Amino acid sequence: KVEIEDGPHKGVYGGVANVGRRPTFDKEDVLLEAHIFDFEGDIYGAHAAVSFIEYIRPERKFDGLDSLKAQIAKDSEKAREILAALPPAR
């Protein structure tokens, strides 16, 4: 889950995240990348907290961008299922 802590989009959103080196692009720096489901706002500069709910899979190198996008779609579907199974927030 991603909690945007300030600004006009303040709130908690479902999403999927990756912490890693992006081997498909031959990068070495470790990054946290989060994709917020069904969100189209501009949150650059906003403070956000990412909560990790469940581990989906290890990072791997893909043959190209299309293969990576296909796997991200599968990961996103799995993440939606995981989030849907959580009890409602209080």
Residue-range domain boundaries for the chain: 2-84
51 Cβ contact list (under 8 Å, min separation 6):
1, 2, 3
Query: Could you report the per-residue pLDDT of 18-32, keeping only the tens digit for each?
Result: 999 999 999 999 999
Judge whether 79 and 56 are in contact, CB under 8 Å: yes
Active site residues per annotation: 33
Query: Could you report the per-residue pLDDT of 67-90, keeping only the tens digit for each?
Result: 999 999 999 999 999 999 999 876
What's the pTM value of the predicted model, to 2 decimals? Answer: 0.84
CATH superfamily of 2-84: Riboflavin kinase-like (2.40.30.30)
Judge whether 75 and 54 are in contact, CB under 8 Å: no
